[in-house]
Amino acid sequence: MSTLVSPRSAAAGSAPAPAAALPRLLRGIRADGYAMSLDEHLDVHGEMPHERRRRRGHSALIDQVEQAGLLGQGGAGFPAARKLRAVAAARRRSIVVINAAEGEPASRKDGTICQMLPHLMLDGGHLAAQALGADEVIVCVCETAPGSIDAVATALEERAGREDGSIRMQLSVVPGGYVTGQETALVSHLNGRPALPTFTPPMPFEQGVRRRPTLINNAETLSQLALIARYGPEWFRALGTGSQPGSTLLTLSGPVSAPGVYEVEPGASLSSLLNAAGGTTATPRAALFGGYSGGWVAGELLGGVALSDEHLAVHGASLGAGVIALISEHACAVAETARVTRWLSDQSARQCGPCLNGLAALASSVEEIAAGSVQGDSGKRIARLASLVRRRGACSHPDGAVRFVLSALETFTEDFADHARHGRCDACAHEPELPLPARYRPVGHGDLTGAR
Amino acid sequence: MSHRVRVNPITCEAHGMCAELLPERISLDEWGYPVIDGEPLPHSLLSHARRAAQACPTFALLLEREHEGA
């Protein structure tokens, strides 16, 4: 067994634990929007605990993470301790990768972490490396997020002078793109190949960067780990639900007074989040949970929604990487779906036939419904395409895209039926509400303006 | 020990040889890519599956041995 000791005082894990309440990750952030400096960060959270590792594969921190019940915050919700143990069990020296490559256009949380609290995230990477006996941490940030790149680079410089150098930390700028944030795509990029998903096995924890066992965790997961290392698992579990303990960052967009990133307690009501965001500015037509691989919940049900995966499962949705995108009653749900489906099709890495062909066909089908130019039974066609795409790619992108489309069909059944019969509606001309990258122009053949 | 066929969708180029040689487990979708039935292969199909894997021009068809508890 190993022990956790804080260099500043003798008692184990001795940073004075703050109140268990919120904010946790966002505690002490600057009001001016700039990143917390290393000194500011240390004033709020104290020094990192130092773990003396006695035996390979054994780490007090991993035990603590397990007791805390920390789940991966990148979307899949895999238990963080299990991932750590898988890498810790490997014989070869491992590498830690911090995944801040946020490809989800509706998500801002990784960017918020990089730009406001980079040191907590870097602490997490450092502590994970320490627990695994790794000597290298690589932070992956998308080239499309220059603010995050600058903030992380500055934070790394600040730390360079103060650390003992036993763990090297570096920044890697990865190309933008929805699938770039997939673990195997990051590994491929860090190995000098295109940032595209690869066929598994081997999984990154078996053979990743430079063929070494590689721990890849989301920026928020590692930031949470840095809090657990300091304040302990009981403190962590004092918030949240049994299956989703702690706090989580959510990105809220759509018709609210103050869209942005919020730290919430899993299990809290959506209404409380909307209140925190200054209330809605228009009646919500529906909310998309979990981003563009997630599911919709209709507006009339939103009053009863609690922000936990357990509750959202009832609606066939989950928090995923923490995205909640509302659309207002002014939006056309069919046009929004068509636009995002085409974007998802364009985001295919174009490596796997079923994804490349299937998502393009799916996007065209949705566009045909939106334009009222349907031939045959479009519902049947979409169901068939969905079954032809699902689980047939090397990565989970096609599965997520199918989930998004099917959920839209189910939630907006009448709108789709209306469009199939009568074509465009008045709301189709409304400014699109679901966020897509500003530079995005459809490359697919059937884009909406063309079909008009 | 049981065997299953699996396709590497990245290397697969839709030549379609596999569906010719192992129709019991493989059909083709509307774009010519294999749709795989992942049920364990009975002994009688093993040699056909092996031949299908060897015939794939891009070696995208894999004959995988079932791992215990994996």
- β-bridge pairing B34-36 and A295-298: unpaired
The pLDDT tens digits of the residues spanning A76-102 come to: 899 999 999 999 998 899 999 999 999
pLDDT value, residue A364: 96
Residue A355: its chain B contacts at CB < 8 A?
A: 9
Residue B59: its chain A contacts at CB < 8 A?
A: none
Nearest CA in chain B to A390: B35
Question: In the structure, what pLDDT confidence band is assigned to residue A15 with cuts at 50, 70 and 90?
Answer: low
pLDDT value, residue A56: 64
Q: At what angle do helices A109-116 and A219-231 cross, to 10 degrees?
A: 60
Partner-chain residue, chosen from A351, A354, A393, that has the shortest CB–CB distance to B29 = A354
Q: CB under 8 Å to A11, separation ≥6 — which residues?
A: none
The pLDDT tens digits of the residues spanning A93-136 come to: 999 999 999 999 999 999 999 999 999 999 999 999 999 999 99
Residue A392: its chain B contacts at CB < 8 A?
A: 9, 33, 35
pLDDT value, residue A451: 33
Q: How high does pLDDT run on average in chain A?
A: 92
pLDDT value, residue A441: 78
Residues of B in CB contact (< 8 Å) with A are 8-14, 29-33, 35
The pLDDT tens digits of the residues spanning A393-406 come to: 999 999 999 999 99
Q: Count CB pairs under 8 A between chains A and B.
A: 36
Residue B14: its chain A contacts at CB < 8 A?
A: 353
Complex-level ipTM beyond the 0.90 threshold: yes
Question: In the structure, what pLDDT confidence band is assigned to residue A53 with cuts at 50, 70 and 90?
Answer: low
Nearest CA in chain A to B37: A392
Question: In the structure, what pLDDT confidence band is assigned to residue A379 with cuts at 50, 70 and 90?
Answer: confident
The torsion of the CA quartet A265, A270, A276, A281, rounded to 10 degrees, works out to 160
Contact between chains at A388 and B30 (C-beta distance less than 8 A): yes
Q: CB under 8 Å to B34, separation ≥6 — which residues?
A: B7, B12, B14, B16, B18, B19, B26, B27, B28, B61
> Would you say residue A3 has pLDDT above 80?
no
The pLDDT tens digits of the residues spanning B3-49 come to: 999 999 999 999 999 999 999 999 999 999 999 998 999 999 999 99
> Would you say residue B63 has pLDDT above 90?
yes
Quote the percentage of chain A above a pLDDT of 90: 85
The β-bridge partners of A174 are: A142
Q: Between A376 and A288, where is the model more confident?
A: A288
> Would you say residue A420 has pLDDT above 80?
yes
* CA–CA dist A88, A85 (Å, integer): 5
pLDDT value, residue A414: 96
Q: Between A174 and A162, where is the model more confident?
A: A174
Question: In the structure, what pLDDT confidence band is assigned to residue A13 with cuts at 50, 70 and 90?
Answer: very low
Residue B6: its chain A contacts at CB < 8 A?
A: none
pLDDT value, residue A50: 85
Q: Between B68 and A36, where is the model more confident?
A: A36
* CA–CA dist A20, A237 (Å, integer): 9
- In angstroms, the Cα distances linking A401 to A116, A185, A230, A292, A344 are 31, 18, 39, 7, 6
pLDDT value, residue A438: 81
What mean pLDDT is predicted for residues A202-207? 94
The pLDDT tens digits of the residues spanning A429-447 come to: 999 999 999 878 776 544 4
Partner-chain residue, chosen from A199, A358, A388, that has the shortest CB–CB distance to B10 = A199
The pLDDT tens digits of the residues spanning A230-278 come to: 999 999 999 999 999 999 999 999 999 999 999 999 999 999 999 999 9
C-alpha distance from B63 to closest chain A C-alpha (Å) = 14
> Would you say residue A47 has pLDDT above 80?
yes
Contact between chains at B9 and A357 (C-beta distance less than 8 A): no
pLDDT value, residue A161: 81
User: Which helix (H) or strand (E) element contains residue B28?
Assistant: strand B26-28
Question: In the structure, what pLDDT confidence band is assigned to residue A7 with cuts at 50, 70 and 90?
Answer: very low
Partner-chain residue, chosen from A357, A388, A394, that has the shortest CB–CB distance to B10 = A394
Burial class (CB in 10 A: 0-12, 13-18, 19+), A443: exposed
Partner-chain residue, chosen from A353, A358, A388, that has the shortest CB–CB distance to B12 = A353
Residue type, A110: D
Contact between chains at B10 and A352 (C-beta distance less than 8 A): yes
φ, ψ of residue A75 to 5 degrees: the values are 135, -40
Contact between chains at A354 and B8 (C-beta distance less than 8 A): no
- Mutation target for A interface from B4, B11, B12, B28: give the one with most A CBs within 10 A: B12
pLDDT value, residue A165: 80
